[in-house]
A and B are shown apart, each in its own frame.
Chain A
Amino acid sequence: MTQDFYRPGTSLIHRWNPVTTLSLSLTLVVTAFASQALWLPAALLVFVVFPAALVSGVFRRLLAWLARFLLPVILLLFVIQGLYHQDGPLLDLGPVGVHLDGVLFATRTALRLLVLTGAFLLLLFTTHPGELMTALVAHGMPPKISYLVSATMQIVPAFRQRAHSILDAQRARGLRTAAGPIGRVRALVPLVGPLVLGALSEVDERAVAMEARAFGATTRRTSYTVIADSAAQRVSRWSMLVITIAVIVLSATGVIR
């Protein structure tokens, strides 16, 4: 599923080392949440997230996904926070009032969510998950963690496929699957046995296959895929770290507000 987000491209950001893109995303998220100021997440969105998306050619997709994920959430946020808040109303409209605190809170949360989701969509759209894992292992992440993430991403869809074929087989043998939510849940029941039993009996087989390919070896691993990196990118990653820490400190001390 996560693989569907990524599409190959040749833009600057596509060519970045995945760790650089990940650093950018993390920097955006942490700084957007570090400060109470409204202007900060707004500026990040307008001056970083959107231009980066434009440069890498994913701007339209980004907007579409943001609208799909966040529009309902944000609307709800404004309705609830704007109308029902403890302090005095900003606008008195007879039985309902709009509260300033609520509106501020909703705006801040909406901006933060936009930066958060936008930053991660940008990462997912421009970065191949396998390359991200390879790059992270090259930067010292344990291969077992990389394995866990990659295997989950690939084996889960494969299992979903299998669930469909088991269902087909059982339908072919006369299992009736009704429509509607309850019918669909009931359709899952006969799947549980074959799927779970199948998965369990295959654990040994998988363990054997991994062992046969020396996954348990304690030798220093080498890497087939080499992911390009550059001095400029290393410098920019360190700079992002410094900026993040600075924003946290300046916000905590009240300089940024």
Chain B
Amino acid sequence: MIRLESLSYRYAETPTTVLRQISLTIPKGQLVGVVGPSGAGKTTLAQVMSGFIPHVFGGEVTGAVTVAGRSVRNTPLPLLVSDIGLVSQNPFNQLSGAKFSVAEELAFGLENLGVPRGEMVSRVDETLRRLRIAHLAERSPYQLSGGQQQLVAIGSMMVMRPGVLVLDEPTSQLDPAGSGLVFDALGELRERGVTVVLIEHKLEQLAEVADRILALVDGELRMDGPPSTVLAADELADWGIGRTRFTAAAVAAATHWPCGRPLPVTLAEAAAGFAEGAP
């Protein structure tokens, strides 16, 4: 569970407030998508939700943040991160550097936590298989493509089985198949009760998998609701977030879209609407 109460944040030595008066509650087991234009504060929000702001990055925080029942401000970082995973934007910087193979890289966090070896091996194998990177197990993490490194970074967090998982554009360098794999895996984690926060520009896939979408613009939470309402909103295009191809098609085909029917955000919704609208 994640709760923010009128949270505002300013980076150290900068005048601008990057997050403004954000209040929201994410219940356990919800998969929440975060959309917003570049510079909106998405990465900053991810760091707030995972406790690295203010523990690693200084700056000025006002308001309260509670994650997994703990006050972020009053909990030491090692304890905090024991139940929160953050996959950050740049996969290269998430490689530990300590390990010479992908399998060992995945095991790194578990080694630090002192997980018994037998369990460690089975969790690593499961993660390798789940993300279809078993063929890379013996390769050096530094000799992988960006997309492959992204899968390793995601796997290195999934393998630790945190109760809250925050992912900052985890599929930015992946092909459609790889992205699909990640979205499916995140859907499964949600079924197991993991709270997932997913910052993502791929609106169509987000619409399929997310329970809820937050639209962040200029550090403000402008919209918060189910994908079908938030992603279909007219404002999204003005904010530079764009819209799904399905929404765009319905708008473009205005006269063929049934009057009064909400705009579609998934393929199924679009197909149903056009079927109804057809003469």
Contacts and interface: CB of A to CB of B under 8 A. Distances in A.
A213 B124 CA distance: 14
Interface string A227-257: 0000000000000000000000000000000
B99 interface: yes
A3 B100 CA distance: 10
A162 to B, nearest CB: 9
Q: Which of B98, B104, B142 has the most CB of A within 10 A?
A: B98
- For chain B, the bracket of interface size reads 35 or more
B104 A222 contact: no
B50 A223 contact: no
B101 A211 contact: no
Interface stretch (B87-95, B127-135, B190-198, B210-218): B87-95
Contacts of B84: 212
Contacts of B82: 214, 217
A130 B114 contact: no
B18 interface: no
B121 interface: yes
A153 to B, nearest CB: 9
A166 B122 CA distance: 41
A165 interface: no
A158 B92 contact: yes
Contacts of B95: 154, 209
B189 to A, nearest CB: 16
Interface in A202-223: 202, 204-223
Interface stretch (A20-28, A56-64, A143-151, A173-181): A143-151
Interface in A15-40: none
Nearest to A152: B97
Contact of B110 (A128, A158, A210, A222): A222
Contact of A147 (B52, B77, B98): B98
A214 B112 contact: yes
Contacts of A147: 96-98
Interface range on chain A (Cβ under 8 Å from partner): 35 or more
Contacts of A212: 50, 52, 81, 84-86, 109, 157
B116 interface: yes
A216 B113 contact: no
A151 B142 CA distance: 11
B97 A151 contact: yes
B246 interface: no
Interface in A156-211: 157-158, 202, 204-211
A217 B83 CA distance: 13
A206 B114 contact: no
> Chain A CB within 10 Å — which of B99, B101, B116 has the most?
B99
A220 B95 CA distance: 22
B78 interface: yes
Nearest to A130: B100
Contact of B78 (A204, A211, A226): A211
Nearest to A218: B78
A155 B160 contact: no
A220 B111 CA distance: 9
Contacts of A143: 98
B57 interface: yes
A222 B100 contact: no
A213 B97 contact: no
A178 to B, nearest CB: 31
B57 A217 contact: no
B108 to A, nearest CB: 6
A149 B84 CA distance: 29
B107 A224 contact: yes
Contact of B47 (A3, A208, A219, A221): A208
A209 B96 contact: yes
Contacts of A3: 100, 140
Nearest to A162: B92
A86 interface: no
B112 A213 contact: yes
B77 A211 contact: yes
B275 to A, nearest CB: 47
A150 B98 contact: yes
Contacts of B103: 224
A225 interface: yes
7 contacts: A154-B140, A157-B142, A209-B93, A217-B82, A217-B112, A221-B114, A224-B121
Given A3-B140, A211-B77, A212-B85, 8 more contacts: A154-B142, A204-B56, A205-B88, A209-B93, A211-B56, A212-B84, A217-B82, A225-B104
| 4 closest cross-chain pairs (CB), A and B | A151-B97, A130-B100, A224-B107, A213-B109
